[in-house]
Amino acid sequence: MKGFRFSAVEAAIKKPGRLDLALIFSDYPAQVAAVYTTNKVQAAPVLISRERSKNGRCRALLVNSGNANACTGEQGMADALECGRRTAEALGLSDEELLIASTGVIGQPLPMERFKKGIQPLVDGLDHGTLDDVARAIMTTDTFEKIERRSGEAGGKPYSIRGIAKGAGMIHPNMATMLSFLVTDAEVDGAFLKSAFTEAVDGSFNAITVDNDTSTNDTAVIFANGAAQNPSIKAGTPEGAAFAALLHDVLLSLAKLIVKDGEGATKFVEIRVKGAANQADAKKAALAVANSMLVKTAFFGQDANWGRIIAAIGYSGADVQQDRVEIRFDDVVMATGGVFAGGDAEAAGTRVLQQKEFRVTIDLKLGAGEAVVFTSDLSYDYVRINADYRT
């Protein structure tokens, strides 16, 4: 990856023994696009980065795990600004050129002395670190790092897109706790980068759910520094379409990894709604099913209880006519015309739910609206992990 450097150190922000403070740095001024949580309670780093990314140009991103710096009042804002200022100064940047992100426990002040001690080693390590180090440093309850890479070409010049993400619980993004950072050495028109990134996020991170909780810290950012020296990629061109497709592919792959790593998850489930009156109704129905605690526990128990699914569809707010609904588990018809398909379907459906990955298809037979949402089951381990999270 041309023109980007990475670093991660152990600052013992929550506890020692792991990387937890990381830096992404572009050697050149970069176009930046970002999407943030829609939760009305927002962490200090989100408020700061939201303002700084509005101008569409930044050089670096400072991120920590172990502490969200959310609901920490004026002191939390001051701490975030000071951490950013010290890092920007060490990099030779203005404060406005640096974005900040945090993830971890809400409501706890940053351990500033440990944080400040980590900044200079972090900057000094830029010539030795990797994006994989950053991916490890941003993990909280994740069980593995999430990294995706793709390559493209524009004007005869090859370029790369690399992305990382973290998230396993508090996952229901509206832009999960989730962070995602992407870097590309492609030269990309700023307006096109913003629209392509927003659209790709909507079709990926906004199409997953683990536990129906939207974080105070959700942040997704892409930096494009043009080091590949390709002609600027613009909207309405074949190169633009190809770049947007690669970007969507990276984000969707990362989003799926988040669901597969869902806290305590044993199942990865695609909820596909078709035949809805419109796309908005399809998304409502898909999310209602994907977020239903009863549906998710049935998936965990391998119980082919399609009744919980049709109930969720009914309260979703989508236009539904009960006597038209068809529900399938993979290719097994569980209900048609809103009525149970019979005992053979029960047995076949149970076999589908015994798989680690499967699809639930819901046909409302009212129109052309379609939507896909990815979800996980809800297991005993989810309760254990979240009951012990702060201890």
Strand partners, 6: 24
Could you report how far apart the first and last alpha carbons of the chain are, in Å? 39
- What's the rounded Cα separation, in Å, for the pair 135 and 36? 19
Percent helix, strand and coil across the chain, each to the nearest 5: 40, 30, 35
Catalytic residue among 87, 103, 177, 361: 177
Detail the residues annotated as belonging to a binding site for substrate: 140, 166, 177, 263, 386, 391
Nearest to 256 by CA among 148, 120, 335: 148
**Contact status, residue 339 vs residue 247, Cβ threshold 8 Å:** no
69: three-class secondary structure by DSSP: coil
368: three-class secondary structure by DSSP: coil
238: three-class secondary structure by DSSP: helix
Q: Which residue has the tokens 């974005």?
A: 99
Task: Specify whether 177 is catalytic.
Answer: yes
- Tokens encoding 193: 């980068």
Q: Among all residues, which ones are annotated catalytic?
A: 177
